[in-house]
Amino acid sequence: MSVTTVRLQPEVESGLEALADKLNRSKNWLVNQAIREFIARQEQEQSRWSETLTAMASVAQGKVVSGQAVHAWLESWGSPNELPPPKAGK
């Protein structure tokens, strides 16, 4: 395990100490947990952004499903003549 030095503002340090006492955890554990969660959120955000760009490119190429087709599909759910999911056009 490596060691990294971090300078905390006094109010952050006091909040960290209070939370560590309350949770009966070390400040080190709390800092590591916070950083893990931050990294996971950032990775998820980057993944969603990438998916958004891919979707926007599909729309720009005309690969879309009409609202009418989606509504018809949804209205058919549970009926004997249930429709298959609509496919993107182009």
Number of domains in the chain: 1
Q: What is the pLDDT of residue 1?
A: 85
Residue 80 domain-assigned (yes or no): no
pTM of the predicted model over 0.85: no
Q: What is the pLDDT of residue 89?
A: 77
Cβ burial of 64 (10 Å; 0-12, 13-18, 19+) is middle
Residue 75 domain-assigned (yes or no): no
Domain interval for residue 36 = 10-61
Q: What is the pLDDT of residue 90?
A: 57
Model confidence over 40-79: pLDDT tens digits? Answer: 999 999 999 999 999 999 999 999 999 999 999 999 999 9
Which of the four pLDDT bands, split at 50, 70 and 90, describes residue 88?
confident
Residue 78 domain-assigned (yes or no): no
Using alpha carbons, select from 2, 20, 4, 3 the residue that is nearest to residue 12.
20
62's torsion region: left (phi>0), alpha (psi -120 to 50) or beta? Answer: left
Instruction: Determine the average pLDDT of the residues in 6-26.
Output: 97
Which run of H or of E encompasses 76?
A: helix 67-76
